Amino acid sequence: MSSIEVDGVLFKEHPLFSHYYASIDGRVFSSVSDKLVDGNPTGTKGYVQLCLKHEGNFVYYYKHRFIWECFHGIIETDREIDHINRCTYDNRLENLRLVSRRTNSYNKSTTKAVLVEELPEDVVDIDEFKGNNYEDYYFSPSTQKVYWNNTDDGEIVQLCIYANNQVVMWDTNGNKHMNSINTIRKMFG
């Protein structure tokens, strides 16, 4: 596998998709078009899918698998790539690990949240947003993240920002809402 440098960043070529490269920070580059390949989030899980040209045809390929394979080789059929922080849009190599399907299932969460030790000092309480009332949700201008203080279990979680720039929040009536992180930043940042 060959490597190239783009704007001072090292990119490694994929073992199957020639002319396509990945960097450790989760970017994909095409040497044919001479530009970065973005990809699109798929389904409700938010995995990013790339559309790559291979042997004259367009092929869809998950970005997290692509990045891993550029640095470690083709993934065996009984293995999966796990997003360590559970954020499926975060395809930095340091956030990916090769695991069995069983191990990967242990790291799944319906809330897509990451436990943190404590809230940042600059958090702002999100008690009302877009006509809905919330309890124990906070926004930190310094980290640009939304947090939920689960007072029942004593856990503080940092909510995942999905590829579509949305966070999942539950209002005081128990209703689930997908809220724009950009709008939250404008109102509370």
> pLDDT, tens digit, for every residue of 80-97?
998 887 788 889 999 998
pLDDT number for residue 105: 60
pLDDT number for residue 113: 59
Read off the pLDDT of residues 51-83 as tens digits, 9 standing for 90 and up. 999 998 999 999 999 999 999 999 998 889 988
Q: Global pTM?
A: 0.59
pLDDT number for residue 15: 96
Beta strands of the chain (E only): which ranges? 3-6, 9-13, 20-22, 28-30, 35-37, 40-42, 47-54, 57-62, 79-83, 96-100, 113-116, 124-125, 128-129, 132-133, 137-140, 145-150, 155-159, 166-170, 176-180
**Residue 86: CA count within 13 A, CB half-sphere:** 16
CATH architecture of 3-106: Alpha-Beta Complex (3.90)
> What are the residue boundaries of the structural domains of the chain, listed by start?
3-106, 113-188
pLDDT number for residue 110: 46
Using DSSP, state whether 75 is helix, strand or coil: coil
- Burial code (b: 16+ CB inside 10 Å, e: under 16) for 111-140 equals ebbbeeeeeeeebeebeebeebebeebbbb
- In this structure, which amino acid lies at residue 8? G
pLDDT number for residue 100: 75
Radius of gyration of the chain (CA): 19
| Calpha distance 174→157 (Å, rounded) | 18
pLDDT number for residue 163: 63
Q: Which residues of the chain have pLDDT under 50?
A: 110-111
